[in-house]
Amino acid sequence: MPWRAWSSFFSPFRGIAWPRDSILSRISAGALFLPVAFAAAQSSSSRNHSDILGAWEGESKCTVPDSPCHDEHVIYEIAADKTVPSGLKMDGYKVVNGERVFMGTLRCEYEAPKKTLRCTSRRKDSGDWEYTLSGDTLEGTLTINGKTRYRKIVAKKLTASSR
């Protein structure tokens, strides 16, 4: 199809043949291809989650003396959150007498370049969970009320053979 036909099709002023190098033709081209580029960027960011996805096992230690907190052996399962584009969810379990006990689900965001995972709790004590990934080790803290470091967590990634 000749250029003039395409330019009149995409033009808000149908019937006017815009020159190929006009600013309007460049804006139209940008408006067409920007959503495609944005979608590609989003899908690539979700692919960057592969190093954090999976099961993690380790220890969650209390850092506040004389609190109701108890040290726990924990298992975290991190997966894509189907309700939030490029979001993650973390299901947390403590191990009691050899059995997994479900503690809850956190909504998380992962910054692949920094290898940081941030999760928030919607409970009244407003906990912020922050983790850093280094190889097969996930280290993090729970900070409550924006100031009190309540827990320190160290977990190792479980492989298929270690489950």
**Which residue stretches of 2-138 are H helix?**
3-10, 23-47
CA–CA dist 82, 96 (Å, integer): 30
For residue 129, count CB atoms less than 10 angstroms from its CB and return exposed for 0-12, middle for 13-18, buried for 19 or more: buried
Q: In a structure prediction context, what are the per-residue pLDDT tens digits for the chain, which is 163 residues long?
A: 454 444 444 444 445 454 555 554 454 444 444 344 434 444 444 457 789 999 999 999 999 999 999 999 999 999 999 988 889 999 999 999 999 999 999 999 999 999 999 998 766 656 899 999 999 999 999 998 888 999 999 999 997 656 5
Q: Which pTM was predicted? A: 0.68
